[in-house]
């Protein structure tokens, strides 16, 4: 049975629809500007029609990315920014089209949401049902001693997360975390394992494992792996990324779109340069290049800085120049 996405695309081809890159990729609604990145065969009107058939979901909706995946898009993420003093939200919707599903190579591990290892039984109970809050609490460690107003009502829970995390940093804890992250069937166990690795030494092997876990299908595990990867990369040093090239190539093509910026920033911080360009980008790099089409520096900036590091020089703001360079690369 055809998906809504496949039916709409077939109809557009028969009707002789123009390619998406000839169409505006921005939608303006009251209070929001929505920019769509990653369009090739699709157009914004086709996306709007597909979402209309799905139900009461629009491109400006927070549920848009999920709805697109439900109708056949292998990857879609939505992020929102607002400039201080502005009254308009800037929404960036990044997607991978159904015809390009080969670009998305997520890792599928069991998603047991109830089990918690005995060694980690001290984890606050609410986080067992809301594991996404665990990462939120860790990200607030920078506010220790003066939590932002929005978090003070949860200060006790946040403190318990910090205490738990800080008390599980022994070599034995870290060795267990690596084993759990690699193969444990418990989703929450893998979330905790990924977080604990940010506590230990930033060895090449740990960074390779975290990069691999960024590809996990479970977004909470993937996000925590990206968080720990970024944390360890804050102390810049050169890493031998050769064993992780397959994972990196997959991510730069569109696997784990939500964590793409963190991965690019971590690679630059750990010495990615022109010697890595072909291995990371040849025959791929589509998700990175799509970022360059954004009108927002917050979106295009990390991609341009990453490509500049790999090229060894800045080719400027024109995405066409970067696309031509990436197309010229040949796999080693």
With a cut of 70, say whether residue 151 has pLDDT above it.
no
Q: Compute the distance between CA of residue 218 and CA of residue 209 in angstroms, rounded to an integer.
A: 16
The pLDDT, as a whole number, for residue 55 is: 81
Label residue 253 by pLDDT band (50, 70, 90): very high
Rg (CA), the chain: 21
Token duo for residue 315: 């080719």
- How confident is residue 20, by pLDDT bands cut at 50, 70 and 90? very low
How far, rounded to the nearest angstrom, does the alpha carbon of residue 301 sit from its chain's CA centroid?
16
230 closest CA partner among 108, 131, 113, 142: 142
User: What does pTM read for this prediction?
Assistant: 0.88
Q: How confident is the model at residue 122 (pLDDT cuts 50, 70, 90)?
A: confident
Stronger pLDDT, 152 or 242, i.e. the higher one: 242
Residue 23 has pLDDT above 60, yes or no: no
Q: Check whether residue 264 and residue 202 sit in a common domain.
A: no
More confident residue, 33 or 20: 33
Whether residue 17 has pLDDT greater than 80? no
Whether the pLDDT of residue 9 is over 60: the answer is no
Note whether 139 and 173 are same-domain residues: yes
> Residue 106 and residue 247: Cα distance in Å, rounded?
10
Contact between residue 235 and residue 254 where contact means Cβ atoms under 8 Å apart: no
Same structural domain, 122 and 222:
yes
Mean pLDDT of 258-280: 97
Interhelix angle for 219-232 vs 260-269, to 10°? 20
Q: CA–CA separation, 100 vs 332, rounded Å? A: 23
Instruction: For residue 77, give its domain range.
Output: 4-103
For residues 288-305, give the mean pLDDT.
95
Q: How many domains does the chain have?
A: 3
Task: Indicate whether 71 and 127 sit together in one domain.
Answer: no
For residue 146, what pLDDT band results from cuts at 50, 70 and 90?
very low
Q: Are residues 113 and 208 in the same domain?
A: yes
- Report how far apart, in Å, the C-alpha atoms of 257 and of each of 74, 160, 240, 251, 330 are: 11, 31, 23, 7, 24
Q: What value does the mean pLDDT take over residues 73-83?
A: 89
DSSP H helices, the chain, are 4-14, 44-54, 64-70, 132-139, 155-166, 171-183, 187-196, 204-213, 219-232, 245-253, 260-269, 277-281, 286-291, 297-311, 319-328
- Residue where a domain stops, chosen among 199, 216, 232: 232
100, 94, 91, 93: which is closest to 72 by C-alpha? 100
Supply the pLDDT for residue 161: 77
Q: In this predicted model, which residue has the larger pLDDT, 12 or 83?
A: 83
Identify the CA nearest to 190 among candidates 140, 260, 250, 117: 117
Q: What is the rounded average pLDDT of the residues 4-18?
A: 43
CB 288 within 8 A of CB 254: no
Q: How far apart are CA 123 and CA 139, in angstroms?
A: 16
Domain boundary among 75, 103, 131: 103
CATH number of the CATH domain containing 12: 3.10.20
pLDDT exceeds 60 at position 78: yes
Average pLDDT of the chain? 86
Residues 6 or more apart whose Cβ sits within 8 Å of residue 42: 9, 12, 20, 97
Structure confidence at residue 1 as a pLDDT band (50, 70, 90): very low
Tell me which residue has tokens 């939608």: 27
25 φ/ψ angles, rounded to the nearest 5 degrees: -115, 25
According to DSSP, residue 56 is labeled S
Give the whole-number percent of the chain exceeding pLDDT 90.
62
> In this structure, are 34 and 87 located in the same domain?
yes
76 and 112 together in one domain = no
- Which pLDDT value is given to residue 316? 96
Please indicate, yes or no, whether residues 192 and 174 belong to a single structural domain of this protein. yes
End-of-domain residue from the set 232, 258, 290: 232
Identify the pLDDT of residue 323.
98
Residue 16 predicted with pLDDT over 70: no
Classify 26 as helix, strand or coil: strand
Q: What pLDDT does residue 11 have?
A: 43
Q: Give percent above pLDDT 70 in the chain.
A: 82
- Examine the domain organization and report whether 123 and 211 are in the same domain: yes
């Amino acid at each position: 049975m055809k998906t809504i996405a496949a039916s709409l695309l077939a109809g557009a081809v028969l009707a002789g629809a123009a390619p998406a890159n000839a169409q505006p990729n921005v939608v303006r609604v009251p209070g929001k500007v929505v920019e769509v990145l990653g369009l090739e065969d699709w157009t914004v009107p086709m996306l709007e029609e597909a979402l209309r058939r799905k139900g009461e979901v629009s491109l400006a909706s927070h549920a848009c990315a999920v709805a697109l995946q439900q109708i056949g898009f292998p990857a879609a993420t939505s992020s929102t920014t607002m400039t201080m003093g502005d009254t308009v939200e800037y929404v960036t919707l990044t997607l991978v089209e159904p015809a390009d599903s080969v670009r998305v190579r997520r890792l599928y591990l069991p998603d047991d949401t109830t089990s918690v290892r005995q060694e980690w039984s001290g984890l606050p109970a609410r986080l067992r049902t809301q594991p996404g809050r665990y990462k939120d609490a860790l990200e607030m460690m920078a506010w220790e001693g003066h939590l932002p107003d929005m978090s003070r009502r949860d200060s006790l829970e946040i403190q318990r997360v910090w205490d738990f995390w800080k008390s599980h940093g022994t070599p034995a804890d870290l060795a267990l975390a690596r084993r759990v992250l690699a193969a444990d069937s418990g989703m929450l166990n893998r979330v905790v394992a990924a977080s604990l690795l940010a506590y230990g030494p930033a060895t090449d092997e740990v960074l390779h494992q975290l990069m691999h876990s960024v590809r996990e299908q479970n977004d909470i595990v993937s996000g925590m792996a990206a968080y720990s990867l970024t944390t360890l990369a804050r102390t810049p040093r050169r890493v031998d990324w050769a064993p992780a090239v397959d994972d990196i190539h997959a991510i730069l093509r569109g696997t784990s779109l939500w964590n793409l910026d963190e991965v690019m920033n971590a690679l630059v911080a750990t010495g990615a340069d022109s010697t890595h360009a072909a291995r990371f980008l040849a025959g791929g790099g589509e998700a990175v290049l799509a970022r360059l089409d954004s009108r927002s520096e917050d979106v295009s900036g990390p991609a341009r800085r990453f490509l500049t590091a790999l090229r060894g020089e800045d080719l400027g703001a024109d995405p066409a120049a970067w696309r031509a360079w990436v197309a010229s690369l040949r796999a080693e």
